[in-house]
Amino acid sequence: MNLAVWVERHGQRRPRDPALADGEHVHADWGTFAARTAAVAGSLCEQLGLSPGDRVAIVMHNRPEYLEALYAIWHAGLVAVPVNARLHRDEVAYILEDSGSAVVVTDADHADVVGSLVDSVASLRTVVVAPGERWDRLTGWSPMRLVDRRPDDPAWLFYTSGTTGRPKGATLTHRNLLLMSLSYFADIDPVHSQDSVLHTAPLSHGAGLYGLPHVARGAVSVVPQAAGVDGDEISALLRRWPGMSFFAAPTMVKRLAGDPAVAAADLSDLKTIIYGGAPMYLADLEEALAVFGPRLAQIYGQGESPMTITALSKADHADREHPRWRERMQGVGEPRTDVEVRVVDDDDRDLPTGEAGEVVVRGDVVMSGYWNQPEETAESLRGGWLHTGDIGSFDAEGYLTLLDRSKDVIISGGMNVYPREVEEVLLRHPGVRDAAVVARPDPQWGEAVVAFVVPAEGETSPTVEQLDQTCLDHIARFKRPKDYRFIDALPTNNYGKVVKRELRETLRTEADADGPND
């Protein structure tokens, strides 16, 4: 099945209902969305000479045309390569080259950068700027019939956000994305045609993926006009587009929860905030629950198993009477309906409840492989299970807690220290806004625990002694940081995830230079 059938069907059944919105304004009804999708598809094939299976990249900020391009690409049987628009030119070039993209759909803000790559990226034939004259010609082309797709045909090359190395293109098929959408209905929320989805986060990542279940059910896709998260605009959009859900990284949820415009808003039209993609610390979650009430659901997934490994449902968040509610809130919830999830040792043997090991996943939502990387694919999918690289453990009720990425675990004096646990404790101190814990090579201990701490605004910066005491009050002595660094902000990538690699590099450079702390 071709996922673009959803747009075609809503176009037939409810042509005058709103489909795409630019802030409060309707950009296209379903009839128009379906007509543009079929026309752009026709133009991509007949005018630009593409054939099913060819790749078309999208490099643009969130805007309604993004969704028109995405569904047109699928309508024509092509493969979409959504690229994070905030990436550096060389990173964009790398993804275009790796995916062999033949066409890029971009916007005016990125037209120069993308245009400059036509000569250097061998596969790239042309660049289309949307909105614009050329885009108008594409949308005015004669409509094309929906191209038949098999379940295993690739639909989306999802380039991993690269907190740990060169991005790789997880190949997501039509079946993968269909399963992702169906299990959203099973585990997160049912969606109705009167609902809306707000795209506050980049469409090239989680927000774009979770747009799919909403398009499937005929809800309105709303693109805010302010770049990023603006509490005032969200309050206004809630009134205009009720039944609203959106996906947000934990850092975004934290920012919104602290926004006075959100605190003052009538949230009765807010349906669900789905957060995930990085750890949500308990202290932040409690603040968010106080503002948003039982409207939060957490998902744990990765590009390779799009948005779908486990979920902590809205009901779990609301179940405060549960004796282990706090522990549950620090975890990532139960396996999703459409996947099997295990925790295994280095030889892929199951570990008992409570023991930490690598999280592995199997199911029809799991990618078919990395684009053009047979060795990496075989390694990652060995034995038919996706090896996530995340370390976690199950409790007796089958809820999973993530300890860390395996690459982030610190081994100090032969003992494993999971940075997340130390970060949770540091964040309990009122003088700490953000914390990231990493390893520094250490001649005595192998690795030493180092904490980067961002002091809270308006509070006096905590002292090393106070932080030490907070750690001693809650965790084993050997987990306590050997060194604290106070900084203004943690380095984050374009999706708001903390890039620990950069913090480790800072420490390594200092060690190489025999710096003050060694």
Q: What is the C-alpha separation between 390 and 404, in angstroms, rounded?
A: 6
Beta carbon nearer to ligand AMP, 238 or 285: 285
Residue 230 touching ligand AMP (CB under 6 A):
no
Query: Which residues, numbered 270-289, are part of the site for ligand AMP (CB under 6 A)?
Result: 276-279
Kindly identify the residues of this chain, within the stretch 312-341, that bind ligand AMP according to CB under 6 A: 332
Measured CA to CA, the distance from residue 309 to residue 298 in angstroms comes to 11
Q: Based on CB atoms, which residue is closest to ligand AMP, 65 or 434?
A: 434
**CB of 8 vs ligand AMP, minimal distance in Å:** 30
Contact by Cβ (8 Å): 339, 363: yes
* Residue nearest ligand AMP by beta-carbon distance: 302
**Pair of tokens at residue 492:** 């984050």
- Counting contacts by CB under 6 A, is residue 390 touching ligand AMP? yes
- Residue count at the site for ligand AMP (CB under 6 A)? 16
Token pair belonging to 420: 């997340």
CB of 183 to ligand AMP, least distance (A): 15
Is residue 449 helix, strand or coil? strand
Give me the residue label for tokens 């990249």: 57
Does residue 343 contact residue 392 with C-beta atoms inside 8 Å? Answer: yes
From candidates 200, 235, 245, 302, binder to ligand AMP by CB under 6 A: 302
Told to check if 160 binds ligand AMP by CB under 6 A, we report yes
Biggest distance spanned by C-alpha atoms of the chain: 71
CA angle 359, 362, 365 (to 5 degrees): 115
Spatial separation of the C-alpha atoms in residues 169 and 373, rounded to whole Å: 9
Minimum distance of ligand AMP from residue 264's CB (angstroms)? 29
Selected range binding ligand AMP among 194-202, 217-225, 295-303, 367-375, rule: CB under 6 A? 295-303
Pairing of strands 79-82, 55-59: parallel
Considering the complex, state which of residue 332 and residue 471 has its C-beta at the smaller distance from ligand AMP. 332
380 in contact with ligand AMP (CB under 6 A): no
* Min dist. Cβ of residue 116 to ligand AMP (A): 27
161 binds ligand AMP (CB under 6 A): yes
Q: Which is nearer to ligand AMP, 165 or 443 (CB)?
A: 165
Closest CA to 438 of 500, 391, 499: 500
Shortest approach of ligand AMP to residue 373 CB, angstroms?
15
What whole-number distance in Å separates Cα of residue 219 and Cα of residue 56? 26
231-258 b/e (C-beta count within 10 Å ≥ 16 → b): bebbbbbbebbebbbbbbbbbbbbbbbe
What binding mask, one character per residue, do residues 430-469 give for ligand AMP by CB under 6 A, x or -? ----------------------------------------
User: Which residue in 125, 137, 255, 405 binds ligand AMP (CB under 6 A)?
Assistant: 405
Q: Which is nearer to ligand AMP, 171 or 388 (CB)?
A: 388
Measured distance CA(263)–CA(287) in Å, rounded: 11
CB 256 within 8 A of CB 262: yes
Which residue(s) pair with 59 in the sheet?
A: 106
Closer to ligand AMP by CB, 11 or 276: give it. 276
User: Where do contacts with ligand AMP occur on this chain (CB under 6 A)?
Assistant: 160-161, 276-279, 298, 300-303, 332, 388, 390, 402, 405
